[in-house]
Structure 1
Amino acid sequence: MRDVVIGTVFAVLAAAGFWFVFRQGTTENASAAPMDIAEGKALYAANCASCHGAELEGQPDWRSPGPDGRLPAPPHDETGHTWHHPDNVLFDYIKLGGEGLMAQQGMEFDSGMPGFGDSLTDQQIRNILGYIRSTWSEDVKQAQAGRTKADNGAD
């Protein structure tokens, strides 16, 4: 029982920390070239599927920290929380990785998510995000777009 309580407290604190960090600045460039969904799908398969699943399903028990304190890789389908974040957060998290993004904000936390900024171009990251987004329903796409718009300070 104690382990469940500790795990739950850790998950809530991690989520609060992510929310705070993700409200900060971004390296995302809104004037990018159009996304190539086919390339994004191939890049996802090569770089992301080993952790996040070939069908974007994530790892089992992704909401519960493992023995190392890290949360397993979440799904990127509609059952996960990817669509709860604005575009700039998703972009920066892929480019910098969890530890890198937190360090940029003056926080020390390693989520286990590696950064891909050295191996993927900004456009390739946008293409991966475009592929992930292309699998969502229109309602989920609109909800995520609303979060992006709100984060950018638009009305």
Structure 2
Amino acid sequence: MKRGKIQLWGVGAAGLLVAGVLIWWFVAEIPDTRLGNPATESVQSLESTQIEIGRTTYQANCAQCHGANAEGQPFWQQRNTDGTLKPPPHDETGHTWHHSDGLLFRIVRDGGTIYETPGFKSSMPAFGDRLSSEEIKAVITYFKSLWGPEIRSSQAEVSQRDPFP
């Protein structure tokens, strides 16, 4: 009689284990949109209107230095004779996506000179007197539209610590 109870318990435990694994596998395959993950949301919800405003604003204010397609200047990582760097690309080949939304916003608004250090000199002008906060955010959203989903997700994670003001 004891042997029968042990077998029954073993079959029941095995059944529960299999059921648990199947439930876990099924649930893991379903994206959880209820959590409101900002990284996922930013990848999925770049608004086309904001991208278009950003593209137009970029073309009028930024393309002269950073290139018509945000490709930056050739040899952008090499210093100019005055110690500044050439304007970098804002597509996936640059480093823009390494920075948070907050930092990118402040650089566009205040210019790069406020971030100068003995080893870094910037020629990025301030646009806070020419562009509204919404236009600056739209330009940054336009940059994001040039990046793939993985890069947008990575940048969104960085931005959780320093979001748009």
TM over 0.5: yes
Shift of 1:84: 0.3
Q: Which residue of 2 aligns with 1:85?
A: 99
Find the aligned partners of 2:115 and 2:154 in 1 and give their Cα distance: 25
CA RMSD of aligned residues (A): 1.9
> How many residues are treated as equivalent by the alignment?
115
Q: Which residue of 2 aligns with 1:94?
A: 108
Residue 153 of structure 2 is aligned to residue 139 of structure 1 = no
Shift of 1:102: 2.8
Residue 125 of structure 2 is aligned to residue 122 of structure 1 = no
| One-letter amino acid of the structure 2 residue matched with residue 102 of structure 1 | Y
TM-score, scaled relative to structure 1: 0.69
Return 5+ residue gaps in structure 1 as ranges. 1-33
Shift of 1:63: 0.8
Over 6 Å off, 4+ runs: none
**Partner SS, residue 141 of structure 2:** helix
Of 40, 43, 52, which aligns to 2:66?
Answer: 52
Shift of 1:149: 1.6
Give CA deviations for 1:99-121 in whole Å, capped at 9, x if unaligned.
1x337xxx676400000000000
Q: Which residue of 2 aligns with 1:4?
A: none
Return 5+ residue gaps in structure 2 as ranges. 1-46
- The residue correspondences of 1:31-42 to structure 2 (distance < 5 A) are 36-42=50-56
Shift of 1:36: 1.5
Shift of 1:150: 3.8
Q: Which has the larger radius of gyration?
A: 2
| One-letter amino acid of the structure 1 residue matched with residue 127 of structure 2 | F
Give CA deviations for 1:109-142 in whole Å, capped at 9, x if unaligned.
6400000000000010001111111111000100
Find the aligned partners of 2:72 and 2:138 in 1 and give their Cα distance: 19
**Partner SS, residue 76 of structure 1:** coil
